[in-house]
Structure 1
Amino acid sequence: MDTGTRMGEPIAIVGMGCRFPGGAENPERFWQLLRDGVDAIRDVPPERWNLADLYDPAPGAPGKTCTRRGGFLEQVDRFDAEFFGISPPEAQRMDPQQRLVLEVAWEALEDAAIVPVALAGSRTGVFIGICHSDYDTLAFRQYSGIHMLDTTGTSDCIAANRLSYLLDLRGPSLAIDTACSSSLAALHLACQSLWLAESTLALAGGVHLNLSPERSIGLSQGRMLATDGRCKTFDAQADGYVRGEGCGVLVLKRLSDALADRDPIRAIIRGTAVNHNGRSNGLTAPNTAAQEEVIRRALAQAGVQPSQVSYVETHATGTALGDLIEFKALKAVLGQRQQGDPRCLLGSLKTNIGHLEAAAGIAGLIKVTLALQHRQIPPSLSPQRLHPYIRLDGTPFEIPTRGQSWEPGGELRLAGVSAFGFGGTNAHLLLQEAPPEPPAPPNHPTIPHLLTLTARSDAALRQLAGRFANHLDAAHPAHLPDICFSANTGRTLFAFRLALVAEHPAEMAGLLAAFGCGQRPPGVHFGHSPRRRTAVVEVEEGAYPRPQSSLAERRRMLEVLGGWFVEGSAAVEWGRLAGDGRMRRVSLPTYPFERQRYWMESPPAATAAVKASDQTKEV
């Protein structure tokens, strides 16, 4: 395939990981938050900064922040350093944004059923949107205690570079700062890298945490924050945004590669575009013409007509001028439709979790990906009263304040995602629903299947078993072969191992649930195998079940293979259990990290609150 052909090829999203406010620690929980219309905004946690000293409701009050609320993650001080081979002193000096990228990227690869360590030496690119580190204000407060690890630990470039280093990835490794469009700009560069074949796989996303009050104070001086802590998108009362935080990472492949590898495709990126406002009304002022242009470029690259777009995840942060300018740009590009053309809904995730700044674009993209998968558009929590200069009458636009089914604009569901940086960099991306999955066979054979799980500790293995039990409870029997294949081939091998054989998801779920609760149910092989065992032999061909094997014989042979796997005494060729070779990789529960607290010296006012809530040993 030449470069020109690649440039027109869609990009498949094959894996996804995230952490967002409101307890949205994975895509499934994030979708629940969106579907239920949850408002995840809350008061600033006491361990971040002391509101009593810093809060003043008057915007512009010197040295004060005009809001007491935001969208916050839980336990950003905790990290599984041992899992990634990072020493406690280095972990303590690492910006939690870097830690989040490591964990969420690992989860995204597992979601894609890709063994992370198997990517060593590959042209895998890493593209991370990140625009600042609050952690360095903690690290550099005491000059005498500054260490070289503080420099690497708080450098934005290391958010991408450390992931490439730990997994030995040889593709591009870039940290992108375009402020609030950083993560969509990172997605744009990742797609370019795949189209140009400098990357065969790409990890792309963004991260943002609000760990200290300095930037909130600065934004308050600029009257950019809403005093009531609400992003009132498209609302008559719009007066600024509320800050949020989070992390999202996608695993990307060219569509032809994803189809050939039978990957789990969540959605397809059809086109991307990035531009700049140029010299406009001011450095931080939005520009209608530039926003129109970036949307038109993305549509042109995708080969999509404006009337085909049935949803846009807007940048709309809840500022009176910014929302109006964005609406004018959308109306100019997408608003000219013929009678009978579909409507176009406009949503904003910021009403749920706040404005995630560098991670805002990836958060919106993950929201739209999930909406495409579920064929539902979740509600926006604003406006309560529409901005007087935003007129929906006579346009195809609607703002969904209630959840609704997603009707496609033509044969396919297509959506746009926008992100605009306050420095003038604009990004827009066109997303399409994934190709339809083949239907489950109506008369699938009920035969025994072997499932294996591994972890770094007994506790983690039991927790992982519990996660798989919950997943299998809802699984269709026809999907059991794909589940076992993905678990057996798509995860890193660790020392604590489990293997079991079952014919039905419910049977497998029951055994895993019992094991997860601390039991040793009959039929579950469990043990500890050193990772670097040398006495591993190849399994003879006659040890694998054959198509003509009876159910009893197949079960017996799988039990033996499972026992060998747990012992680590033989290398099982999982492809021999794939039957006709038509197994598909599917999304499965991810690894349960075992986190401990790693943190720089906290500000005195927050120390008591931190210690009171900390239930683990402080490093």
Structure 2
Amino acid sequence: MSIVPGGITESGPISEGAIAVVGLACRLPQAPDPQAFWQLLKEGRSAVGEVPHDRWDADTLTGPARHGAFLDRVDGFDAAFFGISPREAAMMDPQQRLVLELAWEALEDAGILPESVRGTRTGVFFGAMWDDYATLLHRRGLSAVTQHSVTGLNRSIIANRVSYALGLRGPSLTVDTAQSSGLTAVHLACESLRSGASEIALAGGVNLNIVPESAFGAERFGGLSPDGRCYTFDERANGYVRGEGGGVVLLKPLARALADGDPVYCVIRGSAMNNDGATDGLTVPNPQAQQDVLRLAYEAAGVDPAQVQYVELHGTGTKVGDPVEASALGAVLGTAYGRERPVAVGSAKTNVGHLEGAAGIVGLLKVALSLRNGQLPASLNYEQPNPRIALDEWNLRVQRSLTDWPAAGTGALPLAGVSSFGMGGTNCHVVVEGAPEGVRAGDDGEPGGPASAEAAGPLPWVLSGTDTAALRAQAERLRSFVAARPETPPADVALTLATSRTAFAHRAVVLGQDTDALLNNLTAVANGQASPGVVGGCVSGGSGRVGFLFSGQGSQRVGMGRVLYGAFPVFAAALDEVCGAFDGVLGGSLREVMFAEGVGAEGVLERTEFAQPALFAVEVGLFRLVESWG
């Protein structure tokens, strides 16, 4: 969940071609969302374990295929939420199901109503490389084939399904460049935004390890670590351990993000991709090609490689790949003219395994979260350098503990690179910069800006769900979120819930003067209990249009509208206009009667000739105020 800030100010130049990351979503082992992923990184934890019994029989395995980093469940999916029938959902690759959820969450994280992008040129770019679910279903023979098999199992539909479900009309494609697919998808999305083919873009990758065939394939290929650990740049490097999950970034041109007042996680300054071409073998990396893609990326970004403080490595922990990657980084960044300190390097594969087709997006998420929080987490499993990697000569340093982000220099924003390489030689590198001052996302795991002023009266927190259980779950999720972050301004929560969350049929409004009261009423909703501070109900169809009722006499009181009049010029202008129309008829100032103080003021306002025009003036002012908010 993200909280829309109370205010944002613009500052700093807007780089031509710069792309802002304004929304994140992920589902990773032991990290169901970006905040949990950051905690895992910050605490230096590994999510690697043995294969769950609901995937395949780990007891029969003795080799590297026994280990991995797995999600708790990949079979759960709320098909009705996306308007999908149970039969079609059963035939859908869980990778399709996961990206639907992540796309929705990324939009919400950016404070964008999914319905608001329907019909727009929003691009969808996803990386993926395995078809495990198709393998699983094909075991059942021809009798398992249904009318939904083609769309359910075709990899192209991973991206197309998102475009269809959300009504997005921009480019929509699933990218397969093997292990560099996820970062290549981000590169293509940025190019689409720069060309104008996309207005905004969802980009990411997904990877699920459902059957043993793909695990055994990676083992026979020789890529997996026998002891189930990824020893990136370490002398023990002997392969990688597989991981699964997915991640998405929501991208906008930086100029548009600033104009829209979006909190920004980080900025993609530029990127590049190429291929190794002919080498000693199809899967043997090319040191010169990796140098070339780095130079192309920094040239496209307009960034001096000597200024980069950190690089998130492809870093698989293989005997051949790590030294080649290190030598290329040393040649282009580490020994760049003017560099004053070593380049820090690390790999998230040591935490959550190698997500293969989604590996690159995991690296980008790690860098985005690190830049936002101003810290660099440790790269795990590193003790002694690989003897084939000359760290000192190439001016590289493995990040071994959680530290503050290295100083970027006076007036400069922090800079990082993210690398991802495919086994067929498709290389991709993305250059990432910290967010400009004034639009930077908050340090507490959520986008944020200056704290909102405390509300002068009770606040409404509006909740909804597709059914009663979903509504209660939303209440509990919000309660847990705010309870863990008591400093969160209640008004910011109210604004987010009212303006950037989809309103479903089952609804509740939680009212409270302060955070404690709001939390108590959230608990009541979560437990299905009645409370004076909760109003609930269910919408039974209709057009969804808003009706306004201007009530009659009886609710008038002296001073009504006075605070709003002083706080909101729109309300004040509308009130003055209505009062001005009545003043000549009443023979005096209606506003003075409304705002009067002292003995007898209430009695004057009780008279019908004043009460009804005064109520009408306040009601018109309220209508104009709400109208101005959209």
Q: Which has the higher mean CA deviation after the structures are superposed, 456-465 or 87-96? A: 456-465
Q: Which has the higher mean CA deviation after the structures are superposed, 85-94 or 375-384? A: 375-384
- Determine if contact 1:446/1:504 at 8 Å carries over to the other structure: no
Of residues 23, 26, 33 in structure 1, which corresponds to 2:33? 26
Q: Which has the higher mean CA deviation after the structures are superposed, 330-339 or 488-497? A: 330-339
- Determine if contact 1:8/1:301 at 8 Å carries over to the other structure: no
CA-CA distance at 1:431 after TM superposition: 1.0
Q: What does residue 409 of structure 1 align with?
A: 408
Measured in 1, the distance between the counterparts of 2:339 and 2:513 equals 50
1:292-311 equivalences under 5 Å are 292-311=291-310
Q: What does residue 334 of structure 1 align with?
A: 333
Do the aligned partners of residues 188 and 540 (structure 1) sit closer, same or farther apart at CA in structure 2, a change above 3 Å counting?
farther
1:154-553 equivalences under 5 Å are 154-337=153-336, 341-410=340-409, 411-437=412-438, 440=450, 446-473=456-483, 479-532=489-542, 536-538=546-548, 548-549=563-564
CA-CA distance at 1:381 after TM superposition: 0.9
Do the aligned partners of residues 264 and 510 (structure 1) sit closer, same or farther apart at CA in structure 2, a change above 3 Å counting?
farther
Of residues 44, 60, 74 in structure 2, which corresponds to 1:76? 74
Do the aligned partners of residues 455 and 534 (structure 1) sit closer, same or farther apart at CA in structure 2, a change above 3 Å counting?
closer
- Determine if contact 1:417/1:429 at 8 Å carries over to the other structure: yes
TM-score by length of 1: 0.83
- Determine if contact 2:88/2:152 at 8 Å carries over to the other structure: yes
Measured in 2, the distance between the counterparts of 1:232 and 1:187 equals 27
CA-CA distance at 1:538 after TM superposition: 3.8
- Determine if contact 2:327/2:394 at 8 Å carries over to the other structure: no
- Determine if contact 2:413/2:436 at 8 Å carries over to the other structure: no
Measured in 2, the distance between the counterparts of 1:365 and 1:299 equals 16
Q: What does residue 115 of structure 1 align with?
A: 113
Secondary structure of the 1:484 match is helix
Measured in 2, the distance between the counterparts of 1:38 and 1:540 equals 58
Secondary structure of the 1:67 match is helix
Measured in 2, the distance between the counterparts of 1:87 and 1:340 equals 58
Q: Which structure would you say has the larger RCO, counting Cα contacts within 8 Å and 6 or more residues apart?
A: 1
Of residues 12, 30, 42 in structure 1, which corresponds to 2:49? 42
The answer to whether the aligner puts 1:8 opposite 2:10 as a matched pair is no
Measured in 1, the distance between the counterparts of 2:355 and 2:487 equals 40
- Determine if contact 1:67/1:226 at 8 Å carries over to the other structure: no
Do the aligned partners of residues 452 and 546 (structure 1) sit closer, same or farther apart at CA in structure 2, a change above 3 Å counting?
farther
TM-score by length of 2: 0.82
> What is the CA deviation profile of residues 253-309 of structure 1, one whole-angstrom value per residue up to 9, with x for unaligned ones?
111111111122111111111111111221111111111111111111111111211
RMSD over aligned CA atoms reads 2.7
Q: In structure 2, what residue type is equivalent to 1:48?
A: R
- Determine if contact 2:51/2:66 at 8 Å carries over to the other structure: yes
> What is the CA deviation profile of residues 44-82 of structure 1, one whole-angstrom value per residue up to 9, with x for unaligned ones?
1112122344x243xxxxxxxx43100111110111111
CA-CA distance at 1:577 after TM superposition: 5.5
- Determine if contact 1:493/1:531 at 8 Å carries over to the other structure: no
- Unaligned ranges ≥5, structure 1: 58-65, 552-571, 584-619
- Determine if contact 1:233/1:351 at 8 Å carries over to the other structure: yes
- Determine if contact 1:343/1:409 at 8 Å carries over to the other structure: no
> What is the CA deviation profile of residues 324-371 of structure 1, one whole-angstrom value per residue up to 9, with x for unaligned ones?
000000000111256772442101000111100000000111111111
- Unaligned ranges ≥5, structure 2: 1-12, 440-448, 567-620
CA-CA distance at 1:154 after TM superposition: 0.9
- Determine if contact 1:271/1:429 at 8 Å carries over to the other structure: yes
CA-CA distance at 1:578 after TM superposition: 10
> What is the CA deviation profile of residues 444-476 of structure 1, one whole-angstrom value per residue up to 9, with x for unaligned ones?
664443321111112211221122223333557
Q: What does residue 557 of structure 1 align with?
A: none
- Determine if contact 2:125/2:202 at 8 Å carries over to the other structure: yes
1:580-591 equivalences under 5 Å are none
Measured in 2, the distance between the counterparts of 1:109 and 1:297 equals 31
- Determine if contact 1:314/1:419 at 8 Å carries over to the other structure: yes
Q: In structure 2, what residue type is equivalent to 1:108?
A: A
Do the aligned partners of residues 384 and 45 (structure 1) sit closer, same or farther apart at CA in structure 2, a change above 3 Å counting?
same
- Determine if contact 2:334/2:342 at 8 Å carries over to the other structure: no
Do the aligned partners of residues 497 and 416 (structure 1) sit closer, same or farther apart at CA in structure 2, a change above 3 Å counting?
same
Q: What does residue 443 of structure 2 align with?
A: none
- Determine if contact 1:453/1:461 at 8 Å carries over to the other structure: yes
CA-CA distance at 1:509 after TM superposition: 2.7
Secondary structure of the 1:430 match is strand
Q: Which has the higher mean CA deviation after the structures are superposed, 117-126 or 414-423? A: 117-126
Count the aligned residue pairs.
546
Q: What does residue 101 of structure 1 align with?
A: 99
Of residues 81, 85, 88 in structure 1, which corresponds to 2:86? 88
Measured in 2, the distance between the counterparts of 1:403 and 1:97 equals 33
Seq. identity, %: 45
Q: What does residue 62 of structure 1 align with?
A: none
Do the aligned partners of residues 574 and 223 (structure 1) sit closer, same or farther apart at CA in structure 2, a change above 3 Å counting?
farther
